[in-house]
């Protein structure tokens, strides 16, 4: 059912070559070459304004929504250029889901929040199938036990951590191949953060995950690969363990030891 099953773990799912991004006059990314491997969690770290979120938002073309944003170079998903004219951005976003910094459940019921994606993409043939998708998604997001008795309550009535897991359930209900997470825990308390991190680790089995984080401990805990960005350039990428224990670049070393950023 999932494209990831076809791709062997560790092969390149997303590949960026000489990727430049401009916002009007300002250049935000400079010639980024980065491979994201299937079935792994890749963490993007770096100080504020380093371009890690910009890179993330290129992968599902969220930058299209920004006036004056220009992307050049190549960015491929399973070998197809994401910015090719043949790609429908709606289909792309169904394949590449996203979880945002601040939990943003729709002001609808919990059920409708999760069912939203499957509905617009016509993934369910009938009500029973839709129920099935909603239930499995909630379960995968580790939220089912907490909300199964109140699926008709508003999604905004949940706590912050629950809301964020609801947003994750909403994203995985579309059965994407890749899930992008933009600082998913920055608005959560430590307990809720721990739950979401645990969840990310479980989701790795079925999805390729790219996560932007400001917390180096989080990057170390959840990711297999880490990419360090600085001033719009990719400085270093490698296995998480290697980046944190034996960085090759002095900039990376300076950042992870807390000398700047």
Partner 1 sequence: MQTLTLAAILLLLSSFAFRLGRKRAFAVSAHEPRSLHSLPGYYGSWVALWCGLPAFAVLVAWLVLEPTVVRELVISDLPAAMQALPSDNIDVLINEVRNAAQGHATTNPDLAAAADHYTHLRQIGFAAVAVVSVAIALAGAAFAYRRIEPALRARPRVEASINVFLVASSTVAIFTTIGIVLSLLFESLRFFHMVNFFDFLFGLSWSPQMATRSDQVGSSGAFGMIPLFTGTMLISLISMVVALPLGLFSAIYMSEYAQPRIRAVAKPALEILAGIPTVVFGFFAVITVAPLIRTAGAMFGLSVASESALAAGFVMGITLIPLISSLSDDVITAVPQSLREGAFGLGATRSETIRQVVLPAALPGIVGGVLLAVSRAIGETMIVVMAAGLSAKLTFNPLEAVTTVTVQIVTLLVGDTEFDSPKTLAAFALGLMLFAITLGLNVVALHIVQKYREKYD
User: For helices 160-172 and 127-140, what crossing angle results, to 10°?
Assistant: 130
Stretch binding partner 1 (CB under 8 A), from 99-107, 139-147, 192-200, 237-245: 99-107
Q: Which of 242, 238, 212 is nearest to 227 (CA)?
A: 238
Of residues 129-158, those binding partner 1 (CB under 8 A): 156
Inter-residue contact 166 to 141 (CB < 8 Å): yes
Report the C-alpha gap between 3 and 246 in whole angstroms.
Answer: 34
Is 186 an interacting residue with respect to partner 1 (CB under 8 A)? no
Can you tell me the distance from the alpha carbon of 105 to that of 107, in angstroms, rounded to the nearest whole number? 6
Q: How many residues sit close enough to partner 1 to count as binding (CB under 8 A)?
A: 27
Q: In this structure, how many other beta carbons lie within 10 angstroms of the beta carbon of residue 80? A: 10
Does 23 bind partner 1 (CB under 8 A)? Our answer is no
Q: Which of residues 212-251 bind partner 1 (CB under 8 A)?
A: none
Choice between 32 and 115, CB closer to partner 1: 115
State yes or no: residue 60 binds partner 1 (CB under 8 A): yes
Task: Classify 113 as helix, strand or coil.
Answer: helix
Candidate residues 93, 140, 165, 195; the one interacting with partner 1 per rule CB under 8 A: 93
**Look-up: residue for tokens 């994606």?**
117
Stretch that binds partner 1, among 115-123, 141-149, 212-220, 234-242 (CB under 8 A): 115-123
Nearer to partner 1, 182 or 197 (CB): 182
Binding track over 155-174 against partner 1, x by CB under 8 A:
-x----------x--xx--x
DSSP state of 65: G
Q: Which of 94, 200, 219, 243 binds partner 1 (CB under 8 A)?
A: 94
């Amino acid at each position: 059912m999932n494209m990831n099953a076809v791709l062997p773990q560790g092969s390149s799912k997303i590949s960026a070559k000489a990727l430049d991004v401009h916002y009007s006059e300002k250049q935000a990314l400079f010639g980024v070459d980065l491979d994201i491997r299937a079935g792994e969690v890749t963490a993007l770290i770096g100080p504020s304004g380093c371009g890690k979120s910009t890179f993330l938002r290129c992968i599902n073309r969220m930058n299209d929504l920004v006036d004056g944003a220009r992307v050049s170079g190549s960015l491929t998903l399973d070998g197809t250029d994401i910015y090719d004219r043949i790609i429908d951005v709606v289909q792309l976003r169904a394949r590449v889901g996203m979880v945002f910094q601040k939990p943003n459940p729709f002001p609808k019921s919990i059920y409708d929040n999760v069912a939203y994606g499957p509905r617009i993409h016509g993934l369910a043939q009938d009500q029973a199938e839709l129920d099935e998708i909603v239930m499995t998604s909630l379960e995968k997001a580790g939220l089912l036990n907490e909300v199964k008795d109140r699926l008709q309550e508003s999604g905004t009535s949940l706590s912050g951590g629950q809301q964020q897991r609801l947003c994750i359930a909403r994203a995985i209900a579309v059965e994407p191949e890749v899930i992008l997470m933009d600082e998913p825990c920055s608005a959560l308390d430590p307990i809720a953060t721990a739950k979401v991190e645990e969840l990310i680790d479980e989701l790795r089995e079925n999805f390729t995950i790219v996560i932007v984080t400001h917390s180096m401990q989080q990057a170390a805990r959840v990711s297999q690969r880490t990419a360090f960005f600085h001033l719009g350039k990719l400085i270093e990428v490698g296995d998480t363990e290697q980046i944190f224990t034996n960085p090759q670049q002095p900039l990376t070393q300076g950042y992870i030891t807390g000398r700047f950023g």
